[in-house]
Amino acid sequence: MEPTTFVLFGATGDLAKRKIYPALFNLFVDNKLPESFSLIGLGRRELSDEAFQANVEQSIHTFSRRKTNNPDLLKNFLRTFRYSVLDIDRKEDYQKLLKLIEQREEELRIVPNRMFYLSVGPEYFEKIAANIKESGLGTADGWKRLVIEKPFGHDLQSARDLNEQLSKAFAENEIYRIDHYLGKPMVQKLEVIQQSNPVLHAIWANNYIANVQITANETVGVEERAGYYDHVGAVRDMFQNHMLQLLMMLTMHLPNVSNSELVRFKKKKVMENLEPLLKQDVGANVIRGQYKEGSIGGKQVVGYTSEPGIASTSMNDTFIAAKLQIDDFFWRGVPIYIRTGKRMHEKSTRIVIEFKEPNTNLTQHHDESQVPNLLVFEISPNESITLQLNSKDPSKNGKYKPIQIDFHESQEDVPEAYENLIYDALQGDPTFFAHWDEVELAWAWVQPILDAFQENLVPLHHYAAGTNGPAESDALLAANGHHWWFDS
Ligand code: BG6
């Protein structure tokens, strides 16, 4: 891997502590960091290099999946970590940073490949990118990359504005937009599973598939993020990004040979073929929900509007379920149901593909034990793939009996999403990052939903915490003779 300087904005922040340092350490232990690697942490507060390294060490002890009882290993890892104070508005600080980077590149004799990781609020993205450009930080001989994390805008227009600003400093192929769902190991497997298994590839189409269900349920509520979440809601927080990315990864049709460009092209195609929703049709296809008080795992929890920091009149969505259609050769006519909610019955991200019922019945009469074939991808918290088939039960006069073929991935030593993504960004592999085209098309698709919610054209349904969401979400599927699988 090429020598790299990793410039981390927001080096004393929560994301850096919980995710980025542990991910870097795990990569280091696995020999997946460049041999010549230099990290420069940036933050507002004064900190010596030693104090910075001690903070990083602490975060690794607390959050890393790798054992940290080898002090030499840790020392080796931290040896190239430096810290510099940076006020994002102060031009002099960028000049100081440039000097420090150059000095480190010289000391370590590394070419100026620089990765700028913005682990800061999105309101700072434009300013930092512009200052990187203006200060000459990104004009050295090597490559430069910008890593940012959602939210990329608040709606279609603000996303476009943000992108326009960023693209003044970085070309599209230099921007790595993290959607951490794309780093989840099972999500990364989807393309291979579909593409390299003829038995699946052949039936990945509307002739065989009755419907697709994509769910990301959480048991947590708004947590300490009232200020952020009450402005955003489930559509912006989860649906526009994570959920639509899952949809793209699942439904794109790849040819035998693929590469990152093709994956992105095919994902874009999915979004282009997604039937647009008109504002007046949102009510018929989208269920908007908000949790009220209830009990989860035996624990009583308050309703959304009683959460600290949330106004008692808030109409914010903490749940959304939607019916989508992809208007292309493979998927035309297959309803795709997507839902995500907070304070749900269980934490689970899963995809269910329900196949059509076979036309023939071997016993010549209907056997009510017959089940549809289901292909189930559990994405998190555990990873598994299950195929439900019909078999016979010899002890019951040969009645049908559903059987499950299960594959469970061992949860030990599975790299975390951030490890996968940082590794890819260091290698310059953009496959599992969101391209601007996808982001823009996703905003364009959800914009009528945002407008309809804003104008209150769609009722807000309340659901008790600890349930599977509002009853209307079940009715959305029942209208087509379907139901959510695995709700309990
Ligand atoms: C984040 C959202 O992007 O994803 C959070 O902002 C949400 O609100 C989180 O809790 C869910 O991620 P995961 O990996 O726990 O499913």
Residues shown for the chain: 488
Gap between the Cα atoms of 297 and 346, Å rounded: 9
- Protein residue with least CA distance to atom 5, ligand 1: 237
Per-residue model confidence (pLDDT) at position 364 = 55
Other Cβ atoms closer than 10 A to 375: 20
Please, are residues 63 and 22 in contact by the beta-carbon 8 Å criterion? yes
Residue 380 CA, closest ligand 1 atom number: 16
Tell me which of 14, 215, 225, 242 to substitute to probe ligand 1's pocket, judged by most ligand atoms within 8 Å of the beta carbon: 242
For residue 86, the SS3 value is coil
Atom of ligand 1 nearest to the CA of 242: 3
Looking at the DSSP bridge assignments, the partners of residue 324 are 336
- For residue 360, say whether it is annotated as part of any ligand binding site: no
359 by Cβ neighbours in 10 Å (0-12 / 13-18 / 19+) ranks as: exposed
DSSP helix/strand/coil, 242: helix
pLDDT at residue 217 in the model: 98
| Nearest-atom index, ligand 1, CA of 184 | 14
Beta-carbon contacts of residue 347 (< 8 Å; ≥ 6 apart): 217, 218, 219, 220, 380, 381
Contact by Cβ (8 Å): 104, 5: yes
In DSSP terms, 321 is beta-bridged to 287, 339
Give the distance (Å) from ligand 1 centre to CA of residue 9. Answer: 21
d(C-alpha 411, C-alpha 383), whole Å: 8
Instruction: For ligand 1, atom 4, name the residue with the nearest CA.
Output: 238
Determine the pLDDT at residue 360.
Answer: 56
Q: Residue with the nearest Cα to atom 6 of ligand 1?
A: 237
* Of 222, 237, 239, best ligand 1 pocket probe by most atoms within 8 Å of the beta carbon: 237
Q: Are 400 and 370 spatial neighbours (Cβ–Cβ below 8 Å)?
A: yes
Mean pLDDT per 10-residue interval, the chain, length 488 residues: 96 95 96 95 96 96 87 93 96 96 93 96 95 91 94 96 97 97 94 89 94 98 94 97 98 83 94 97 98 96 97 97 97 98 97 86 64 95 93 82 90 86 97 97 98 97 98 98 94
| Residue 326 CA to ligand 1 centre (angstroms) | 26
Q: What is the reported pLDDT for 67?
A: 78
Secondary structure E strands in 109-223: 114-118, 144-149, 175-178, 209-217
Find all residues with CB under 8 Å of 275, minimum gap 6, and list them. Answer: 324, 325, 326, 327
Query: Any residues with Cβ below 6 Å from ligand 1, and which?
Result: 216, 218, 237, 349, 380
User: How remote is the CA of residue 23 from the centroid of ligand 1, in Å?
Assistant: 17
Ligand 1, pocket-test mutation among 238, 339, 382, 383, most atoms within 8 A of CB:
238
Contact 433, 420 (CB under 8 A): no
Establish whether 462 is a catalytic residue: no
Catalytic residue among 154, 201, 231, 242: 242
Q: Quick one: which atom of ligand 1 is closest to the CA of 225?
A: 8
ipTM of predicted assembly, 2 dp: 0.99
